[in-house]
Amino acid sequence: MRVAVLGATGLVGKEMIATLEARCFPVDDFRPLSSPRSAGTKVRFDGRDWEVQAVSPEGFDGVDVAIFSAGGDASRKWAPVAAERGAVVVDNSSAWRMDPQVPLVVPEINKKAVEDRPKGIIANPNCSTIHGVMALYPLHKEAGLSRMIVTTLQSVSGSGWKALVELEDESRMVLDGNVEGADERASVYPHRIAFGAVPQVGSFDDQGYTDEEWKMVNESRKIMGAPELKVDCTCTRVPVMRGHSLSITAQFERKISPSEARAILADAPGIVLKDDPSSSIYPLATDAAGTDPVYVGRIRESLSLENGLDLWVASDNIRKGAALNAVQIAELLA
């Protein structure tokens, strides 16, 4: 397999490279690509340093799989070029997710969708969407999911390296008593993120919802094949370095007890059940960071919805929420 990674020097791109190596993906020829700004730097793969090349049409010649994590604009420009040159593109941006000719894939849920890719592009879903549908789809298969109400608590790593540095800098300033300086330091987010929570991930529309919230709505429907699914979502950014958490209330067509839900999720691929609240055992973003599974716990009956369950989910947004899911898609093509 000849593999290219576009966005090789970014936070997710580096994790994609590490994941390819950790999972022993069959790479015969490796091509790390980036914008001209990062060209010439080195990335580590398979025991050696590889020089990053500036992305160009020729860079995709002979490539079998091209994994993209370079943002929507780059994906819109280069994904068709790579596909024309014969590569199958696995794209981590939001550029192609809702294109009806582009499958949106979580391998544990709809892996057969990769077979129908008329544009030569396969989309990797949004991180929070992946975590949510991973937890809900096994229950949906058994009881028919009709409604989901989600509040996300998203770590700053979802915004890249600059956000991680910003959280560190702001935290030091606040602890040193320089709150005003920390407020002024905010640039990645509209407000200081250190020691607070920002109820905005993405840009607002005329209805007061952000594009991140619409991703949860539309992508969940597409992945699970449930176009009539009712979804409400509020996305928040919290001062956590790595790992997203989700509070979910789910309503089903038939009653499903917490014990039945636990039994179903305990056998679901990619899920780890952590659900013993009496012993303070439940999913934590800090435990999820650096690991592959989606953790589910705090499963209980809804107090307000008939046939409803409340649950708590945590997972590493850079791993299963991005790099791991993309590599799993690539593995379906190998």
Among 105, 99, 54, residue whose Cα is nearest residue 80:
99
Query: What does each C-alpha distance from 90 to 77, 325, 326 come to in angstroms?
Result: 14, 10, 6
Establish whether 38 is an annotated binding residue. yes
Marked catalytic residue, from 131, 140, 235, 244: 244
pLDDT at 260: 98
pLDDT at 126: 98
Establish whether 44 is an annotated binding residue. no
pLDDT at 186: 96
Active site residue 191: no
Marked catalytic residue, from 127, 131, 140, 233: 127
Establish whether 308 is an annotated binding residue. no
pLDDT at 263: 98
Active site residue 235: no
Establish whether 291 is an annotated binding residue. no
Establish whether 158 is an annotated binding residue. yes
pLDDT at 328: 98
Q: How many Cα neighbours within 13 Å face the side chain of 71?
A: 8
Chunk the chain into consecutive blocks of 10 residues (it has 334) and report each block's average pLDDT, rounded to whole numbers: 96 97 96 94 94 97 97 97 98 97 98 97 98 98 98 97 97 98 97 98 97 98 98 98 98 98 98 98 97 98 98 98 98 94
